[in-house]
Structure 1
Amino acid sequence: MKEYRWAVIGCGVIAKEMAESMNKLGRSFYGVWNRTFEKAEAFAKEYQIPHVYKNVRELIEDTSIDIIYIATPHNLHYPFLIKALNAGRHVLCEKAITLNSSELKEAVMLSQERNVILAEAMTLYHLPLYKKLHQLLQEQTLGSLRFIQMNFGSYKVYDMTNRFFCRELAGGALLDIGVYALSFIRWFLSAAPDQITSQVKLAPTGVDEQAGILLTNPAGEMASVSMTLHAKQPKRGMAAFDKGYLEIYNYPRACQAVITYTEDGHQEIIDLGNSEDSLIYEIQDMETAVSGGENLMHLDYTTDVMDIMTKLRKDWGIVYPEEE
């Protein structure tokens, strides 16, 4: 496979992790742009990136670049990815990929018109553990799925200028941590949910800070989500089937699942992959899709999850400035 040239928009924490993963593969980003040029220069120096762009348009229009990785706050994803797709670049965008289903639908149509790959950087879709579990489900090793229970709690300083609570930066628990829980759920459900109910607590800024969600699909499979920005919870996912249940801790970057079988209570531990290589798996799957190989980016699941989140925010009355 050819070595693709990647460029990154944004220099935050996740961009640094991606740059470190690139370096671990013996490579580096080809270019970088950040709103603050000095920060981009420092980022480039730290991660051996040869090109620093003063204008994001120059990066997007550079035909030397194959793939653009977008690692900005949520509210800037859509305008940057639309520009990148229009320029014929493949795009890997951090989660949540857009603010709503309407934006994502437009982006998907544009990627198809330009014949380029569009994908969300959802780690768990690319981990060896989840690929193995998906195989077990297809083989009916655990029987029919009945219920999924998800927890994700994070303790954030209760400061309304913090991006997690900032309406102008599309803050809130749903787009930041809920997207992981819903992506896990969609991975195991046989079909997207068609019934969605919830309870929410809003922050003073009007974004969601805590919620409970219940989902059911046409097959009668159910799932619940408990999420909060006020208290630590174990990042635990549990999926219950006829023949047993599986548990995964730290599920966004998990490498171990424990299966407990219903008939006799014995347990099976599945260990696959390395949590530290989570973004490497993402890079490799993206490049395989770009090369014309098997597309494992699961844009269909991303679309289903975005539909759920759009419905929830409508129910909660949460509208971001870009949507007004």
Structure 2
Amino acid sequence: MNKLNWAVLGTGVVANQMAQAMQDVGRKLYAVGNRTHSKAVDFANKYGIEKVYDDMNDMFYDDNVDVIYITSPHNTHIDFIMKALENGKHILCEKSITLNSIELEKALKKADGKNLVLAEAMTIYHMPLYKKLMKLVADGEIGDVSMIQANFGSYKDYDMKNRFFNMNLAGGAMLDIGVYAISLARCFLKSKPDNVISTVKFAPSGVDEMSGIVMTNKEGQMTVISLSLHTKQPKRCVICGDKGYIEIMEYPRACKATIVCTETGERKEICEGETERALQYEMEDMEEEISKRSGCMLREYTKDVMEIMTDIRNEWGLKYPEEQ
């Protein structure tokens, strides 16, 4: 397949990481668009990008663009996704891919109708370590998985106007960091959890600041998750089976895990991939999906995770302005 032309919408941290990932493999983004034109110009100069849009919406109508990487705030995703799909663009969209499952269903239906790939930029799905671990678990390395524990906590200053706590920017722990924990768990569960209980503490702005979530599925596998935006926690996941367990630290872009044998206590380290190449792996899998429709973007997991997050927020009564 000829190399695809990628455009990036947004010029923040993740957009910079994608531009760098392209450079690292001898490629360049084709185009960039941003609400603030001067930022797009600076971004293009930094990475040698030939096309800068005066109006970022022009990106959707550019016949030279094959794939758009959307890195804008969560609550803007659906509008940009629908415009891009309507104009024949494949889309890789930052997590969380949409605000809720209704939006995602609408977008996927449009993508299918246009024979386009719409995928979430969930690093966990593409890191070589997880591909290796999923195979080891499937092969019975730790026996039957019975429990998964995942923590994710960041300490963010109590500024109710920044994106983490801002209702108008779809802030809160669930969509920002909970999506990682639930996505990781889904990779090692036999089916989507169908019984979910949770508790939540709201920030003064009304978004979810801290929560505890317990999920079980029809096979009896249990997942326990703790999330926080104003309390630091280790990004730690433990996948427990009857023969052993897997421990992963800094799991969103992990390249190393430890497998511990239940009977002997023996520890075995698994190393696969490189943390610094996380977005390169996403890009490579996206291009494979476009050319081969291989299923490597794990679309069904994205759907399951979004449905879980939506159901939990509905239980909490947490709705963003766009959902009212």
State the TM-score, normalizing by the size of structure 2. Answer: 0.99
Aligned counterpart, 1:141: 141
Aligned counterpart, 2:276: 276
AA aligned opposite 2:289: A
Distance 2:113 2:293 in 1: 19
Q: Does 1:51 align with 2:51?
A: yes
Shift of 1:260: 0.4
Distance 2:143 2:96 in 1: 32
AA aligned opposite 1:237: C
Aligned counterpart, 1:307: 307
State the TM-score, normalizing by the size of structure 1. Answer: 0.99
Shift of 1:141: 2.0
Distance 1:190 1:323 in 2: 31
Equivalences for residues 80-99 of structure 1 within 5 A: 80-99=80-99
Aligned counterpart, 2:115: 115
Deviations 1:278-318 (A, max 9, x none): 11000000001111252300111000000010011101111
Q: Does 1:225 align with 2:225?
A: yes
Aligned counterpart, 1:103: 103
> How large is the Cα RMSD of the aligned pairs?
0.8
Distance 2:321 2:211 in 1: 22
Shift of 1:263: 1.3
AA aligned opposite 1:168: N
Mind listing any 5+ residue stretches in structure 1 that lack a counterpart? Answer: none
Equivalences for residues 16-31 of structure 1 within 5 A: 16-31=16-31
Shift of 1:63: 1.1
Deviations 1:137-161 (A, max 9, x none): 2212221111000000100010101
Mind listing any 5+ residue stretches in structure 2 that lack a counterpart? Answer: none
Aligned counterpart, 1:251: 251
Distance 2:308 2:138 in 1: 24
Distance 1:86 1:293 in 2: 20
AA aligned opposite 2:127: L
AA aligned opposite 1:118: L
Q: Kindly indicate whether the alpha-carbon contact (under 8 Å) linking 1:285 and 1:295 is maintained by their aligned counterparts in 2.
A: no
Q: Does 1:176 align with 2:176?
A: yes
Distance 1:315 1:196 in 2: 10
Deviations 1:247-296 (A, max 9, x none): 00000000011000111110111001100001100000000111125230
Shift of 1:181: 0.4
AA aligned opposite 1:42: D
Shift of 1:86: 1.0
Distance 1:280 1:199 in 2: 36
AA aligned opposite 1:275: T
Deviations 1:209-267 (A, max 9, x none): 00000000000000011110112111000010010000000000000110001111101
Deviations 1:92-116 (A, max 9, x none): 0000000000000011111100001
Distance 2:164 2:262 in 1: 40
AA aligned opposite 2:313: R
Distance 1:55 1:187 in 2: 39
Shift of 1:56: 2.7
Equivalences for residues 171-250 of structure 1 within 5 A: 171-250=171-250
SS at match of 1:291: helix
Distance 1:323 1:251 in 2: 31
Q: Does 1:153 align with 2:118?
A: no
Aligned counterpart, 1:320: 320
Distance 1:244 1:12 in 2: 40
Distance 1:229 1:57 in 2: 33
SS at match of 2:294: coil
Distance 2:37 2:51 in 1: 12
Distance 2:225 2:47 in 1: 38
Aligned counterpart, 2:32: 32
Q: List 4+ stretches of structure 1 deviating above 6 A.
A: none
Shift of 1:57: 2.8
Q: Kindly indicate whether the alpha-carbon contact (under 8 Å) linking 1:195 and 1:216 is maintained by their aligned counterparts in 2.
A: yes
Distance 1:110 1:189 in 2: 28
SS at match of 1:286: helix
AA aligned opposite 2:59: L
AA aligned opposite 1:127: M
Q: Kindly indicate whether the alpha-carbon contact (under 8 Å) linking 1:92 and 1:121 is maintained by their aligned counterparts in 2.
A: yes
Distance 1:5 1:248 in 2: 35
Distance 2:138 2:244 in 1: 15
